[in-house]
Chain A
Amino acid sequence: MTEPIIVTEHLTHIYAPGPQQKIALNDINLEIERGDCTAIIGVTGSGKSTLVQHFNGLLRPTSGRVLVNGIDINAKRTDLKTLRQQVGMLFQFPEAQLFEHTVFADVAFGPRRMKLDKREVRRRVQHALDTVGLPHREFAARSPFGLSGGQMRRVALAGVLAMLPSVLVLDEPGTGLDAEGREEFYYYLRHIQQEGVTIVLVSHDMAEVASLANWLCVLHQGSLVMQGSPRHIFAQGDQLRKWGLAAPPLSELLALLRQRGLPIPEETLTMDEAFDLLRQGVSQRETR
């Protein structure tokens, strides 16, 4: 077992301490395993964004600790520049932050600020573009503003990847994309994860979470109220509703079938599993 890449210990964050204070995070203890895709889920205002902003030192704990690669983000000697290069963040609607005339210049912005030599910058930009499915020969010289929404979002993703992060934090990555744009984005994310990058997903889109994450952490009013595998979490539809969340539509359907007395195991998650179960039901009925 390797140690987790991110650990929070009794992490509490209070906005505006004093009489008007708001406890945004309350005693959060969690571990993010290396190479996983972990989703932080919860409704707006549950503390998801506040939590992940601790992962690269954008916010500091009011109390408790956050360790990234074993290093305390709050320690005096911690180099925030290095930390932010290690933990890349893609915010919501990142395409709104594209500003250069060419795709190349936009992706090169971060590496250039690191004062890398020209050849290294070019190498990184080309690799990052290829990784997100925008072959550099075809796209590097183009204006980012002539691309589709999904392509623009992948240019922004390439800009983060060009910093060679070991953790990639994404805030609602699928929002605003259509079905095809989402599927493409998810495809490249899976690929990036296979290359060894740890992924942290902030989302309230359960279909997105179901298709990407292998571990879920549920936040409710600043507290970590549940964590587990998607199979485990999505089987608790009623509990999720109390926190303002809903299981993915397929899990909801299976829950209704269970209520109607069909013997469907709690851990059924995918379409193929559900189909196999229910089709067997048919053949049993026919032979009866």
Chain B
Amino acid sequence: MNGSPFIDIQHVSYAYPQEGREQPVLALQDVSLRIQPGEYVALLGHNGSGKSTLARHCNALLTPTGGRVLVDGMDTSDTRQQRAIRDRVGMIFQNPDNQIIATVVEDDVAWALTMRGLPAQLIRQRVEEAMEAVGITSLRERAPQQLSGGQKQRVAIAGMLALRPQGIVADEATAQLDPLSRQEIVALLHQLHERFGLTIIQVTHFLEEAALVQRIVIMEQGQIVMEGPPASMFADLERLRQLKLAIPEPIALAARLRDAGLPISWDALTIESIAGEIAR
């Protein structure tokens, strides 16, 4: 690929600080990964595989014990650059309640900008745009704690968008949501990717959320064990099962029917496309 990567993870190792005499456990072991500007990557793996630890290296929330991470050319271990890096790569987390600060939605979206002392006029304009982009304009005067989980995640995303980032890391952002809200948040991430050309790194253990991404990266024991476009990842269901990932039933059914002789394309990964193939 041409051009320099947006996020360049080079031989990164990471050990969580340990108490007392215990041996430090390496949460990441010599991980290298280059993410291009505007790419949509799903980071998968079971609990404890290291996927969240790796994601947190993408905006300097964690810095490597060994190796280095460059974001837009800036080294995440350089404390003077961390503010700029976090403005460039926003992060949303699993529990929407922990990300809400203000008592009114629009103040919450404006929070980071206000803290940076930007002119009121500019803040107002950015907040308007961010609320519009995630579809919460009509909720502007509501109290965040009265919103549903999915709406709270939208508020968190808007607050991040107001900073005009180039990338978003969504760390299990759908794990605690209702099924419909889950689908809506994933659809929103895809929209933001297309509309603003944002780089998206989506951490999840739901394979079905990864069907439409550009590249899937699967972690196991602190290392990258599989990597490629979704169709090639889903071609080896047995391997995915070994990696303790739940195979979405429609995809498992498609594979069984293919094995039984039905001509179903390997590229059919969404419910709609699988239905299209079966009913052809």
Contact = CB atoms under 8 A, between A and B. Distances in A.
B47 A178 contact: yes
Interface in A161-214: 175-182, 204-207
B149 interface: yes
A78 B79 CA distance: 62
Contact of A244 (B47, B178, B245, B260): B178
A18 B129 CA distance: 39
Contacts, number: 100
Given A148-B47, A148-B48, A179-B46, A257 B253 contact: no
A271 B252 contact: yes
Nearest to B262: A282
B279 A275 contact: no
A274 interface: yes
A180 B46 contact: yes
A248 B249 contact: yes
Contacts of A253: 249-250, 253, 271, 274-275
Contacts of B278: 257, 262, 278
A245 interface: yes
B248 interface: yes
Contact of B178 (A150, A204, A278, A279): A204
A180 B244 CA distance: 6
A37 to B, nearest CB: 20
Interface in B240-280: 244-246, 248-250, 252-253, 256-257, 260-262, 271-272, 274-276, 278-279
B265 to A, nearest CB: 15
B253 A250 contact: yes
Contact of A282 (B179, B252, B261): B261
A176 B177 CA distance: 11
Q: Which of A150, A177, A253 has the largest count of B CB atoms less than 10 A from its CB?
A: A253
Contacts of A176: 47, 94, 175-176
Interface in A90-133: none
A178 B244 contact: yes
Interface class of chain A by DSSP: helix
A6 B69 CA distance: 57
B213 to A, nearest CB: 17
A5 interface: no
B181 to A, nearest CB: 8
B149 A44 contact: yes
Size bin of chain A's contact surface: 35 or more
Contact of A249 (B46, B176, B244, B248): B248
Given A275-B256, A279-B260, A282-B262, A181 B47 contact: yes
A4 interface: no
Nearest to A204: B178
Contacts of B275: 253, 256-257, 260
Contacts of A179: 46, 205, 244-246
B81 interface: no
B183 interface: yes
9 contacts: A43-B180, A44-B178, A178-B205, A179-B245, A207-B246, A244-B181, A253-B275, A260-B276, A282-B262
Interface of A: 43-45, 148-150, 175-182, 204-207, 241, 244-246, 248-250, 252-253, 256-257, 260-262, 271, 274-275, 278-279, 282
